[in-house]
Structure 1
Amino acid sequence: MTYTHRPVLLAEAVTSVLGDSTSSSATSKIIIDGTFGRGGHSREILKNLNQASKLIAFDKDLQAIAEANTITDPRFQIIHESFASMGEHVPAETADAILMDLGISSPQIDDPDRGFSFRQDGPLDMRMDTTRGQSAAEWLATAEQKEIARVIKDYGEERFAVQIAKAIVTRREQGESLTRTRELASLVASVVRTREAGQDPATRTFQAIRIYINQELADLEGGLNAAFNCLKPGGLLAVISFHSLEDRIVKQFMQGLSQVSVPRGLPLTENQMPKPFAELLGRIKPSEQEVQENPRARSAILRVMRKIKNKTVGGLA
């Protein structure tokens, strides 16, 4: 079955990394798409990229890699790795712009065999890269109750995390391990008695387990650091996030680089004031029309910054 994906904030993201009119420029540029997905942003970037430039894309998902391999443009390169490893493939201070579109793609959600969705029954996998790591079912079959509760609370912001974890472990102790998405969704629904209008009781639990299984927040922190180190001074970083945990990390990272601290009372003229490492360029949300046409865009936030000067970052700035 073919699954479609509509890229979020497409024009805004491409403009943020390329500007309004770069196709006529003869300047050679290196652009990085940290999350190829199904290639919506990459293909649009290539349409607007001059022939002297290059686009390097990353993705952990084998299906995304297969889709990327259908692109025959010599300016394009795909790497089967997390964007957190971009520093191993792109020399420091060489990239002109980097785009990171976080979260999961529509085909990952819509394909029941991937195990991301509670709406259809499928194997409880949830791995973006199915060639490595534990599946969600394997983790739930062995993890301690406290660890399960912590993951669901921290990554799903679920107030019934303890009750859900207890139900999972009780079922496991009865010899009934969870192996299917609908099994987990039904179990969560039996515990979570109240939920926001229009939201499935399993939404937060599935998000939390997916984030943990794929180490998404750790990858994001590593990816932001790698991206900053790969950018040239003057280079642009654009990041699209879809939930508060991601956006908080992106916001704090960018704000930290854009601020300078000077001891109070230090007599400095304006010219002597230290410059920040980056400049914040804006925060963009989808238009009402885009949300109407693509409801999955409703929570998206695009943040953009420009690197001013070099700094080796090994943790959040």
Structure 2
Amino acid sequence: MTDSDSSRIHTPVLLERCIELLGPALTKPGAVFVDATLGMGGHSAGVLERFPDVTLIGLDRDPEALAIAGERLERFGNRVHLVHTVYDGIQEAIESVGYSEIDGVLFDLGVSSLQLDRVERGFSYSKDAPLDMRMDSTSELTAETVLAEYSEADLRRIFRDYGEEKLAGRYAARIVEAREQEPLVRSGQLVDLITKVTPVAVQRQGHPAKRVFQALRIEVNQELAVLQRAIPAAVDALALGGRIVVEAYQSLEDRIVKRELQARSVSSAPAGLPV
């Protein structure tokens, strides 16, 4: 862990609320907690400190985050098991460390502060960097590839569905036109392109590239598809009395979480059957 990594490590804003919600399930002896989005380990450290009998299974697709969290959580010894995986692989991860069910699980969705701070990873539209946007540096698809190879129709769909961008068609058409002249390989190029075709009135409402960058990030990392599989898998892994907590920060994630949790909360028993 570098000095700059150490300086960025902080207590998550919603840590106490998460602990309050998870707490009733983590007080039993031998409780198992899954941090499905481990990041730099802030939530996990808080849980392990508060509940001395809890075992942690920490998941993250980002090898860099796993390394930093591993150092941060080293003091908890064999109570900690870290797994390099995307969080829809939660059941396999649980079984890989010798468990069949869990008592609590936490998802903190979206891009992490570590990923935003690493300029070279290309998540931020405020600084020029390679168009990468991979949460897992070992995966293949990058934002550069999406912009270079996807059709105008697919780009329009991504910007509309994943960015909720009203100017999706305009941006997609301009990208296809521009890439015929030169490859789009840096975030600064994309920001300039988008800004030039965005009406001034729209620019006053916020950064014009914000939604396009969100859409590209979601596509590169398949965030919504993964989330749609992960919530049911997490619920299925819970022991009786287990709890799931999800921190979602935008409407696309929120709708999926609510829909999947509601679907898992509906009884399949015939109406009127005494239970």
Superposed pair shares fold, TM > 0.5: yes
Give the AA of the match of 2:31: K
In structure 1, C-alpha distance between the alignment counterparts of 2:37 and 2:9, rounded to whole Å: 13
Alpha-carbon displacement from aligned partner over 1:138-189 (angstroms, at most 9, x marks no partner): 2211111111111011000001001101111101112x11111111111111
Given that 2:65 and 2:114 are in contact with CA atoms closer than 8 Å, whether structure 1 keeps it comes out as no
**Match of 1:11?**
16
1:178 matched to 2:184? The reply is yes
In structure 1, C-alpha distance between the alignment counterparts of 2:9 and 2:187, rounded to whole Å: 22
Once the 2 structures are TM-superposed, how far is the Cα of residue 42 of structure 1 from its aligned partner?
A: 0.7
**Match of 2:52?**
50
In the alignment, which of 159, 168, 177 is matched to residue 166 of structure 2? 159
TM-score, normalising length from structure 1?
0.78
Once the 2 structures are TM-superposed, how far is the Cα of residue 5 of structure 1 from its aligned partner?
A: 5.2
- Alpha-carbon spacing, 1:186–1:155, altered in 2? closer, same or farther (3 Å): same
1:79 matched to 2:83? The reply is yes
Structure 1 residue ranges (4+ consecutive) displaced by more than 6 angstroms after TM superposition: none
Once the 2 structures are TM-superposed, how far is the Cα of residue 108 of structure 1 from its aligned partner?
A: 1.1
In structure 2, C-alpha distance between the alignment counterparts of 1:243 and 1:196, rounded to whole Å: 21
1:38 matched to 2:28? The reply is no
Given that 1:93 and 1:229 are in contact with CA atoms closer than 8 Å, whether structure 2 keeps it comes out as no
- CA-based RMSD: 2.1
Q: Aligned ranges for residues 291-302 of structure 1 at < 5 Å?
A: none
In the alignment, which of 102, 116, 121 is matched to residue 109 of structure 1? 116
Structure with the largest fraction of helix? 2
Q: Which runs of no fewer than 5 residues in structure 1 stay unpaired?
A: 275-317
Alpha-carbon displacement from aligned partner over 1:222-255 (angstroms, at most 9, x marks no partner): 1112101111121101001010000000011122
In the alignment, which of 132, 139, 142 is matched to residue 135 of structure 1? 142
* Matched length: 263
Q: Identity of counterpart residues, as a percentage?
A: 38
* SS of residue matched to 1:195: helix
Q: Which runs of no fewer than 5 residues in structure 2 stay unpaired?
A: none
Q: Aligned ranges for residues 144-293 of structure 1 at < 5 Å?
A: 144-174=151-181, 176-193=182-199, 194-195=201-202, 197=204, 199-260=206-267, 268=272, 272-273=273-274
Once the 2 structures are TM-superposed, how far is the Cα of residue 101 of structure 1 from its aligned partner?
A: 0.6
Once the 2 structures are TM-superposed, how far is the Cα of residue 93 of structure 1 from its aligned partner?
A: 5.6
